[in-house]
A and B are shown apart, each in its own frame.
Chain A
Amino acid sequence: MIPLPIPPADPLPLPLPPVILKALHLLTFALHLLAVNLGVGGTVLSFAHAARGREGDRDLVRRVAPLLPPAVTFAVTLGVAPLLFIQLSYGPFFYSATVLSAFPWLALVFLLIAGYGLLYRFVGSVASDRFRLWSGALASLLLLSIALVLANMTTLSMRPDLWRGLAASSPHGTRLNLADPSLWPRVLHLVTGITASAGMLLAGWGAWKDHAGAREAGLRWFIGATLCQAAWGTWLLLRQPEAAFRMLLSGHAFGSLALWFGIGCAALALLMAIPASLRGAARKAVGPPFLLAQGAVVGMILARDQARDATLAAVGFDPYALPFKTDWTSLAVFATSLVLLIVLLTTLVRWVLAPVQAGAEARHD
């Protein structure tokens, strides 16, 4: 049998133990996902409410929409870190996949810029009477289509057995890897997950700002999307590569526990959200399902990571086996800047949340 064309890893050692890099990778990915849920999911929800256009909807959109552009900014910024870590630990798989599907991968940049630009246009219009619905629709569509690009890269990077065929059929890297059976369920899972999480974040915002409409609408979004998720999620699970599938269903591997923890959290959140939404979405009824939904996301992030490692282990790759040599000086610089960042962020948040100056509210435009 001809060996799979998996490139060797870069010869330079990692500057930190792989475990630590993995932890940072997952942490930054979780933060990135939170911002994506808020920014991209929020865009979809805002557009949908704007399109329905009842007075309550319009009021909701007016209040929520200004949060979206900064959320997308942070989604982008926070996304850079996991992108870095993935190149570091999974370079041979990441680079091969992106080059083989280069143009779709490059499209990410244009989808992002166009979607984000249109989002600004949409948000800029909600203060007026005439919402720019087309901009909102396109912004949602473009930003969501990034899910397809990312799912394509992720699935392709885990399937070195498909690389040869793609290289032969697409020498310039113009195609998506449609040969992977998990691509479409993965995209659906992602899009629905973003929508469900955005719904819960909206409900959470409604609890914080005491906005009953937001709580009710948010819970409904969460319920609807999560119910769909049961179908897509099962589909995605069944389409996992062999090794990942066995690991996820084993019931004792860490990834399997994470998956069932995630599913359990989601199910429980659903069970609490349904009655809450039927009984007027009281403020304190939002807290527990909100936390459970975040738990579900964390569980899924861990399960996803473990599924990847299991799949790659089947082709002989172990990210923990990469050589490393801890670079203490650089680590100190990094840690110092991290501490400074936290100080800065807390200060900024404190300033923003400080009571508004008298008379300032009137000048809002």
Chain B
Amino acid sequence: MNYPVWDVPFLGSGWVVGIMAIIHIFLSHFAVGGGLFLPVMEAHARKHGDEAMLRWLRKHARFFLIVTGVAGAGTGVGIWVVIALANPQGVGHLIHGFVLGWATEWIVFIAEMACITVYYYGWDRLTPERHLKVGWLYAICSWLTLAVINGIITFMLTPGKGWAESHWMWDGFFNPTYAPSLIMRTLVMWALAGVYAFWTAATIEDLDLKERVLQVSARWVLPAYVLLPLLGGWYFLNIPPVSREVLQVGMAGAAAGNFSMATRVTMLTVMSTATIGVIVYFGPFRNARAFTRGMAGAVAVVALLATGASEWAREVARKPYVIRNVMYSNGVRVEQVEAFQREGYLPNSVWAREYAGLKGDTALARGEALYRGQCVACHTWDGYRSMQKFMAPRNLDSARNMVRMLRSRDPRENIYAKFMPPLAATEAEGEQLAAYLYQRAHPGPAAVARK
């Protein structure tokens, strides 16, 4: 822990990132999908001289501009803010490895913003041909933002073979999940474009127009509907076997009788997709005239659920790493573990020493510093993945055994190795950690007296 650690009570920093990310993805995927939606619909309307549809499209473009420009871009900055708070080492490493990738993403992002601004505000100023061209340019730019960022996101799960040695951006960029992920996300984006169009189309008063718009929009959902299962399989085959296993059996040893992680996520995704399918077919497609905002909202909520479930699965698959085989979720780099276990974590970690020092540098204070440095990235004390809950049933010996086991990097000895990083600390530090965890979970009279 070279950096201070952001300790978010109850929720944990991981969930702060998760919430921000899911909202952002929901909005930004709309931006990309809608990017194509706008010019395609405009071309369609212009070809058929459909003035009514053009007027609606203009309103939709305004909605689009506000949703993506305000909330989409705002949460985009939000992602930057929260990931750097939750994992400064990880973000610092990614930025160092991919600066020029981010910089290129930024260029494309500016182009995207310029296009949508001109597209909306230039509705009357530009000739129809030029206006449509700007729409196509927007579609291209917004898709490119995905194509660039996708290299970095997929790198974190599947860094590919060469990067660890070369540290050359392109060795990491085009990694095994790049292509399946790109195609999958593109389809999801088109689907979301349709879903958002339902929202603005639901209140169209001219019923003929409403029907035209809704039926066309429903078609945008279709490709994702048909192809996603196939692509999902392709993606799944390309993630590391360990992640596959974790997804399949679930984390805490697949408690007998419970649904496994993968089953749950798959069920959630399948159910939500099926629901979307049914609503879309019987709503916008068959009964467009009777379609309401409420139904549109329902589709959007279900789509958000599906987005959330699949992003969450990706996160689970990446545990215990931020960058697979390079850096663990708690900021310890894989290559550092050995030295830390030999020389100690505190001597090697500026802020672990600092936190211990703030509490008098006692054995317990050092244990707490270790907890903060290596565990808080994934656990909270009494909320999400509560350490209190895990520790309450254990006595001191059992706490010690657990921590001892965590030091091992051999999955046969350490049953947690698949989802928790090895404890990068000396044996003595491990004892301090165990003592701290035990004492805090069992605040007996001794602990009260200490206060």
Contacts and interface: CB of A to CB of B under 8 A. Distances in A.
A348 B115 contact: yes
B74 A356 contact: no
A106 B81 contact: yes
Nearest to A338: B107
A268 to B, nearest CB: 33
Nearest to A9: B92
Interface in B67-110: 69-71, 73-78, 80-82, 84-85, 88-89, 91-93, 95-97, 99-104, 106-110
B95 A87 contact: yes
Interface string B50-77: 0000000000000000100111011111
Interface stretch (B162-170, B295-303, B339-347): B162-170
B2 interface: yes
Nearest to B121: A70
Interface of A: 2, 5-8, 10, 12-16, 24, 66, 69-70, 73-74, 76-81, 83-84, 87-88, 91-92, 94-96, 98-100, 102, 105-106, 108-109, 112-113, 116-117, 120, 163-164, 167-168, 171-173, 327, 329-331, 333-334, 337-338, 340-341, 344-345, 348, 351-352, 354, 356-357, 360-361, 363-364
A363 B58 CA distance: 13
A98 B84 contact: yes
Shortest 4 CB-CB contacts between residues of A and residues of B:
A95-B88, A330-B100, A7-B2, A12-B96
A81 B106 contact: yes
B337 to A, nearest CB: 15
A87 B124 contact: no
Nearest to B118: A348
Interface residues of B, number: 70
Contact of B85 (A69, A106, A330, A341): A106
Most B-side CB within 10 Å, residue of A81, A99, A357: A99
Contact of B107 (A327, A334, A364): A334
Given A91-B92, A99-B4, A351-B122, A112 B74 contact: yes
Contacts of B351: 5, 7, 96
A14 B99 CA distance: 8
Contacts of A96: 3-4, 88, 351
Contact of B108 (A5, A113, A171, A337): A337
B134 A348 contact: yes
Interface in B155-204: 167-170
A333 B77 contact: no
A16 B169 CA distance: 13
Contacts of A6: 350
9 contacts: A5-B351, A14-B96, A70-B121, A83-B77, A88-B95, A109-B78, A337-B108, A351-B118, A354-B126
Nearest to B108: A337
Interface stretch (B6-14, B270-278, B393-401, B417-425): B6-14
B125 A352 contact: yes
B427 interface: no
A360 B128 CA distance: 11
Given A87-B84, A95-B84, A351 B134 contact: yes
A14 B167 CA distance: 11
Nearest to B58: A365
A78 B96 contact: no
Most A-side CB within 10 Å, residue of B96, B102, B137, B355: B96
Contacts of B110: 74, 77-78, 341
Contacts of B130: 351
Most B-side CB within 10 Å, residue of A24, A91, A172, A331: A91
Contacts of B408: none
B358 A109 contact: no
Given A7-B351, A96-B4, A99-B3, A80 B85 contact: no
Nearest to A5: B354
A8 B93 CA distance: 12
Contact of A100 (B4, B113, B168): B4
Given A112-B74, A329-B169, A329-B170, 17 more contacts: A8-B2, A24-B103, A73-B69, A80-B109, A81-B106, A84-B103, A91-B95, A98-B81, A98-B84, A106-B78, A117-B70, A164-B354, A327-B100, A330-B170, A334-B104, A352-B126, A357-B125
A123 B114 CA distance: 19
Contacts of A352: 118, 122, 125-126
Contacts of A99: 3-6, 85, 88
A354 B118 CA distance: 13
A135 B134 CA distance: 32
Contact of B357 (A2, A13, A70, A76): A2
A348 B126 CA distance: 10
Contact of B354 (A66, A76, A167, A330): A167
Nearest to B357: A2
Contacts of B5: 99
Contact of B126 (A98, A338, A351): A351
Nearest to A332: B100
A109 B108 contact: no
A73 B124 CA distance: 21
Nearest to B349: A7
B384 to A, nearest CB: 15
A73 B106 contact: no
A139 B107 CA distance: 28
A16 B101 CA distance: 13
A73 B125 contact: no
A184 to B, nearest CB: 23
